[in-house]
């Protein structure tokens, strides 16, 4: 979904909307997400475009009626996000899927070009 929005926004502007870090925390008891994601966009203009595209809009995904709220995270910058993600320990009794881990993308994703995904964090089976 984020890739699709990047494609749309990149078709209508001079500045590129790209992100190089993504993490959607998952509740292991329900296998559902907690309702927020951490995304690092590569420029302040990209943040403004994403804010304008999503803020206050209905989350029209899988029948949800939630309203999107875009906030700045307490942890800012790719270096800090990667550092924290590398130290993350995900504990679960069953296998932890790759999609549950934070991801670093090189080059940054913009919805069009291929990026290599680097999974961060540590899986611990208990």
Angle at Cα 69 formed by Cα 118 and Cα 116, nearest 5°?
A: 15
What angle is formed at CA 80 by the lines to CA 41 and CA 118, rounded to 5 degrees? Answer: 70
Q: Return all residues near 13 (Cβ < 8 A) that are at least 6 apart.
A: 49
pLDDT by position in tens, the chain (length 126): 889 989 999 987 767 999 999 999 999 888 888 889 999 999 999 999 999 998 998 877 767 788 889 998 899 999 999 999 999 999 888 889 999 999 999 999 999 989 999 999 999 988
d(CA 84, CA 121): 8
* Contact in structure between 17 and 40 (CB atoms under 8 Å): no
* pTM to 2 decimal places: 0.90
């Amino acid at each position: 979904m984020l890739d699709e929005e990047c494609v749309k926004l990149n078709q209508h502007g001079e500045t590129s909307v790209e992100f190089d870090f993504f993490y959607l925390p998952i509740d292991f008891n329900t296998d559902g997400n907690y309702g927020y994601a951490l995304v690092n966009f590569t420029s302040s203009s990209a943040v403004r475009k994403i804010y304008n595209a999503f803020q206050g809009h209905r989350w029209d995904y899988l029948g949800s009626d939630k309203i999107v709220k875009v906030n700045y995270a307490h942890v800012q910058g790719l270096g800090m996000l990667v550092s924290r993600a590398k130290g993350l320990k995900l504990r679960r009794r069953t296998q932890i899927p790759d999609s549950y881990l934070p991801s670093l993308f090189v080059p940054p994703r913009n919805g069009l070009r291929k990026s290599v995904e680097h999974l961060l964090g540590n899986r611990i089976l208990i």
